[in-house]
Amino acid sequence: MRMADDDEKSPGATQRRGDWTGLIAVAIASPVFFIFVHFGKPETGFTALLALAMIIFAIRWRWNLSVHAWFWATIAVVIALQIPLLFIVLWPQTNIPTIVFSMPIGIADFLLISGAISLAEKMFSKEQPPDHEEG
């Protein structure tokens, strides 16, 4: 008796695992949101959740560099610079949803982290650029 899964698992078929990065990012970041909600600052909590999720996405995007200590040092510096900003920013008291204010910040945050990682990669990478020839 032949099962239906046998056709899908033929020797020539390649299967790809699903990417759970989004769900993992939300699972890691959601406790931060609930801590801020508990203290009566849901807007700040949503922004913290978004910033932390963007950090996780940037780490996942450049995961091939995770073996380097400078990569994690760069992530730590970026996080340390962002923490005070969460408490400095005052959100306007309007009927406009928080996501309208937070999404541009989240996108800028992702670009900032990615830029910092790229800059650190250029500074700390030991490989010579292809156009640099000795002799």
pLDDT in tens, the chain (135 residues): 555 555 555 555 566 666 777 787 778 888 888 998 898 888 788 888 888 888 888 888 898 988 999 999 999 998 898 888 777 877 677 777 777 877 888 888 889 999 999 999 999 877 645 554 554
Q: How many CB atoms lie within 10 A of CB 79?
A: 13
Q: What three-state secondary structure class fits 63?
A: helix
Q: Residue 74 is encoded by which pair of tokens?
A: 């760069």
Say what the pLDDT of residue 135 is: 47
Q: Residue 26 is encoded by which pair of tokens?
A: 């939300």
Q: Residue 128 is encoded by which pair of tokens?
A: 């010579």
In a 13 Å sphere around the CA of 121, the CA atoms on its Cβ side amount to: 13
Q: How many CB atoms lie within 10 A of CB 49?
A: 23
CA gap 16, 66 in Å, rounded: 22
What is the length of the chain?
A: 135
Say what the pLDDT of residue 73 is: 93
Say what the pLDDT of residue 13 is: 52
Say what the pLDDT of residue 101 is: 76
Q: Residue 28 is encoded by which pair of tokens?
A: 């890691």
CA gap 125, 113 in Å, rounded: 17
For residues 72, 78, 84, 90, the Cα torsion angle rounded to the nearest 10 degrees is: -140
